[in-house]
Amino acid sequence: MKGEIIKEAMQFKGLNQTSLARLMYVKQNTVSKWIRGKSEPSLDTVFYAL
């Protein structure tokens, strides 16, 4: 479910996984794991992005 939200937000902002990763200072494979539901971003990462 959270992966779908991240994916929709990326589409809304016109971002791909690589550009989102750069904005959030994480690796692209980390974003991929979020989208696939294999892991979740930490609250620190989310707050930093805001």
Where do the domains of the chain lie? Answer: 2-49
Residue 9: CB atoms within 10 Å? 11
Confidence (pLDDT) at 48: 74
Q: Please list the pLDDT of the chain residue by residue as tens digits (50 residues).
A: 789 999 999 999 999 999 999 999 999 999 999 999 999 999 888 877 76
Confidence (pLDDT) at 46: 81
Confidence (pLDDT) at 1: 73
Residue 40: CB atoms within 10 Å? 13
Confidence (pLDDT) at 19: 95
Give the CATH number of domain 2-49. Answer: 1.10.260.40
